[in-house]
DNA sequence: TTTT
DNA sequence: TTTT
């Protein structure tokens, strides 16, 4: 179809550590579970209500998989740009199922860290390395779309 | 959770006429099936590939349900702003299932007609009426967010 | 024109405290200066480059002006949704000038606090008040679009 | 600054043909003037009001400059993703001036044709060529972000 | 004028 | 499963 647009923008927290997988072809794929929630007050009772939405995120963009693996952990707060994709699968009872995911494609999307995540296992081992890598990776403009390694801003 | 954002932006075509439902409380709810697609060329074979994605859309915003009912038909091209919501249901085999939808909430979201849809049943009967209604409804700025009936632009 | 969309999404920091103004009609208007920046590495020299962009923000949305006044300060990190507007003015030399602003309109837009801003003059005086007000205001889903005071999420 | 986002999304019409420029380094740059507008009804008089906003657009993304040059004309309706950038210049009276533009950067942004533009001078000469080129360029998913020449969708 |  |  000509002229389609499919965009998702999320700001939320990771419900658990990102899961890193590797394809046979050698590329890294990251799966994450991300929560957004909205709260409101019940008009009648005045009670505070909250609804949490869980999003399955799959990152194909190589640079962003690297950033996700290095810097994201359970609880991390992130800004994410991706697109909707629903895939079909068959469960153990041979029933067809559908799962909708927010996909960050190989060429596109964005991922921005919105907090200072405490370093943990798998985090950069030295402050210097950490700082440098962050600066050129997650710490700049939205990774994956911007000319971080170029010499012009646009 | 504080500081969440959950946004979806789609431009695509309706796969069928919108379905209009009414709640017991009297509000109108519109369900739509919307397709987006992307195309690319296979590097090796040079073959043109295409992948179509289908989105379940649910509109709660009253003004936008009205516009959808009046002006949208199978094939209509629209711009839509909503949010992701996954709901759980139980199928006839008592198996828990999940369906993800793009929800246009009661207060928020947007819907913009991107084509001049052929008039059909339920459409305005005269060109003049059609033009006027479109102008004050779907044909202006994104309905549902903008002060179409106010006297200031912002 | 039928079918327009005009959206701006920013995540950045305030360069100074928000300025609060009041119209003759009694509504509050907030002006803010917001910085976004992107960084990249010069390919030849390996030098780290950075470009900061300054955005003039004007908030008309009543609830968001209240949140901005109460919780935002110089240095605050925020997510903001608005629209572009360029206004014409005449300087002291009678020369016509144009200024482009990011406007958060009366009915629409969004503002989300992304940090815990240190409380300062004008901030809520007690933790309890602070927490409660935040929870029902800036601390929920994007303020200004969501049914924070309703009893249904959508 | 770490963690910035600067995004603009527009749907509107071109006020005139795109202007194509070439840098000394040989890259193509396209300048466009794009209108969005919103309409509303004056509460008191019932009068229909309309406000048109003009946006200066500058495209650096090579593929998108090519599409803009080939397919866009005065009146074309487009979906555009870019970022805000304000540049300083000095007028003939030596007065410093600022102009804000919507920039589609070299690596990023998107441009989608939303109408079938009448072919004109500079357009593809045959329907076949036109169709094919459109299909692989502007007519697919948002150009500039998607793997149009790859063999996987994500 | 922010921030890292 | 996150967060406030």
Q: Give the model confidence (pLDDT) of A27-78 as tens digits.
A: 999 999 999 999 888 888 889 899 999 999 999 999 999 999 999 999 999 9
Predicted local distance difference test score (pLDDT) of residue C50 = 93
Instruction: Tell me what the mean pLDDT of segment D53-71 comes to.
Output: 97
Q: In chain C, which residue's Cα lies nearest the Cα of A80?
A: C11
* pLDDT-based confidence at residue C144 (cuts at 50, 70, 90): low
* pLDDT-based confidence at residue B42 (cuts at 50, 70, 90): confident
pLDDT in tens, A101-153: 999 999 999 999 998 644 444 333 333 222 222 222 333 345 654 444 455 67
Instruction: Tell me what the mean pLDDT of segment C42-58 comes to.
Output: 93
Instruction: Tell me what the mean pLDDT of segment C26-54 comes to.
Output: 93
3-state percent breakdown (helix, strand, coil) of chain D, nearest 5: 15, 45, 45
Predicted local distance difference test score (pLDDT) of residue C43 = 82
- Sorted by sequence, the CB contacts under 8 Å of residue C128 that are 6+ apart come out as none
Predicted local distance difference test score (pLDDT) of residue C154 = 86
Whether residue D11 lies within 8 A of chain A, CB to CB, comes out as: no
Instruction: Tell me what the mean pLDDT of segment C116-126 comes to.
Output: 40
pLDDT in tens, C89-105: 999 989 999 999 999 99
Rounded to the nearest integer, the mean pLDDT of chain C is 81
Instruction: Tell me what the mean pLDDT of segment C5-25 comes to.
Output: 97
Q: Is the pLDDT of residue A84 over 80?
A: yes
Predicted local distance difference test score (pLDDT) of residue D93 = 87
> What is the pTM for the complete model shown?
0.84
Tell me how far apart the alpha carbons of residues B65 and C5 are, in angstroms, rounded to a whole number: 19
Q: Which nucleotides of E are covered by protein (CB under 7 A)?
A: 1-4
Whether residue A84 lies within 8 A of chain B, CB to CB, comes out as: yes
**Cβ distance C69 to C62 under 8 Å?**
no
**Cβ distance B53 to A6 under 8 Å?**
yes
Tell me how far apart the alpha carbons of residues C141 and C127 are, in angstroms, rounded to a whole number: 21
Whether residue C7 lies within 8 A of chain A, CB to CB, comes out as: no
- Among A118-132, B96-110, C39-53, the range of highest mean pLDDT: B96-110
Q: Does at least one atom of strand E sit less than 7 Å from the CB of C52?
A: yes
Contact C3 B139 (CB under 8 A): yes
pLDDT in tens, D79-88: 999 999 999 9
What Å distances lie between residue B121 and C34, C86, C154, D6, D19, CA to CA?
Answer: 49, 42, 29, 43, 44
Backbone angles phi, psi at C121, to 5 degrees: -55, 130
* pLDDT-based confidence at residue D44 (cuts at 50, 70, 90): confident
What Å distances lie between residue C150 and A42, A44, B24, D133, CA to CA?
Answer: 5, 9, 18, 50
Predicted local distance difference test score (pLDDT) of residue C143 = 64
Predicted local distance difference test score (pLDDT) of residue A2 = 66
CB atoms within 10 A of CB D48: 14
What Å distances lie between residue C92 and A52, C96, C101, D95, D134, CA to CA?
Answer: 53, 10, 21, 12, 50
Q: In chain A, which residue's Cα lies nearest the Cα of D3?
A: A112
Distance from CA of B77 to the nearest CA of D (A): 9
Tell me how far apart the alpha carbons of residues B129 and B135 are, in angstroms, rounded to a whole number: 10
**Cβ distance A101 to A87 under 8 Å?**
yes
pLDDT in tens, D116-153: 644 444 433 333 322 222 222 333 345 654 444 455 67
Which residue's CA is nearest to the C1' of nucleotide F2? A15
Q: Does at least one atom of strand E sit less than 7 Å from the CB of C12?
A: yes
Instruction: Tell me what the mean pLDDT of segment B36-48 comes to.
Output: 90
The conformation of residue C143, written as its DSSP 8-state character, comes to: B
Q: Is the pLDDT of residue C79 over 90?
A: yes
Q: Which of D9, D42, D147 faces B151 most closely, judged by CB atoms?
A: D42
Predicted local distance difference test score (pLDDT) of residue D128 = 30
Contact B147 C103 (CB under 8 A): no
Lowest-confidence segment of A2-6, C11-15, C117-121 by average pLDDT: C117-121
Predicted local distance difference test score (pLDDT) of residue A85 = 98
**Cβ distance B68 to B18 under 8 Å?**
yes
Instruction: Tell me what the mean pLDDT of segment C63-69 comes to.
Output: 96
Token couple for D88 = 């300083």
Predicted local distance difference test score (pLDDT) of residue B44 = 87
Rounded to the nearest integer, the mean pLDDT of chain D is 82
Contact C148 A41 (CB under 8 A): yes
Lowest-confidence segment of B95-104, D15-24, D35-44 by average pLDDT: D35-44
Tell me how far apart the alpha carbons of residues D66 and A17 are, in angstroms, rounded to a whole number: 42
Pick C8-41+48-113's CATH classification: 2.40.50.140, 3.40.630.30, 3.40.50.1470, 3.40.640.10. Answer: 2.40.50.140
Lowest-confidence segment of A146-150, B94-98, D89-93 by average pLDDT: A146-150
Instruction: Tell me what the mean pLDDT of segment D7-16 comes to.
Output: 98
DSSP three-state, residue C108: coil
Distance from CA of D71 to the nearest CA of B (A): 18
Burial of A112 (0-12, 13-18, 19+ CB in 10 A): buried
Tell me how far apart the alpha carbons of residues C65 and C25 are, in angstroms, rounded to a whole number: 15
Q: Is the pLDDT of residue C16 over 70?
A: yes
Tell me how far apart the alpha carbons of residues A69 and B121 are, in angstroms, rounded to a whole number: 54
Q: Where are the domains of chain C?
A: 8-41+48-113
Token couple for C40 = 């990249």
Residue C103's beta-bridge partner residues? Answer: C58, C83
Rounded to the nearest integer, the mean pLDDT of chain B is 82
Predicted local distance difference test score (pLDDT) of residue A8 = 98
Query: Å between A75 CA and F1 C1'?
Result: 10
Find which nucleotide's C1' atom is closest to C76's CA: E2
Give A141 or B102, the one with higher predicted confidence. B102
Contact C2 B113 (CB under 8 A): yes
User: Tokens 């466009």 appear where?
Assistant: D32
Instruction: Tell me what the mean pLDDT of segment D36-65 comes to.
Output: 94
């Amino acid at each position: 179809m000509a002229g389609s647009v499919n965009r998702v923008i999320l700001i939320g927290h990771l419900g658990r550590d990102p899961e890193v997988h590797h394809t046979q072809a050698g590329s890294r794929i990251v799966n994450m579970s991300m929560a957004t929630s909205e709260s409101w007050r019940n008009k009648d009772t005045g009670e505070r209500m909250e609804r949490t939405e869980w999003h399955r995120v799959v990152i194909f963009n190589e640079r962003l998989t690297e950033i996700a693996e290095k810097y994201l952990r359970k609880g991390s707060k992130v800004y994410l740009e991706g697109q909707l994709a629903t895939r079909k699968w068959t469960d153990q009872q041979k029933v067809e199922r559908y799962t909708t995911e927010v996909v960050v494609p190989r060429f596109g999307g964005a991922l921005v860290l919105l907090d200072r995540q405490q370093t943990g296992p798998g985090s950069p081992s030295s402050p210097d390395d950490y700082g440098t890598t962050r600066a050129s990776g997650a710490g700049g403009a939205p990774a994956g779309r911007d000319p971080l390694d170029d010499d012009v801003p646009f």
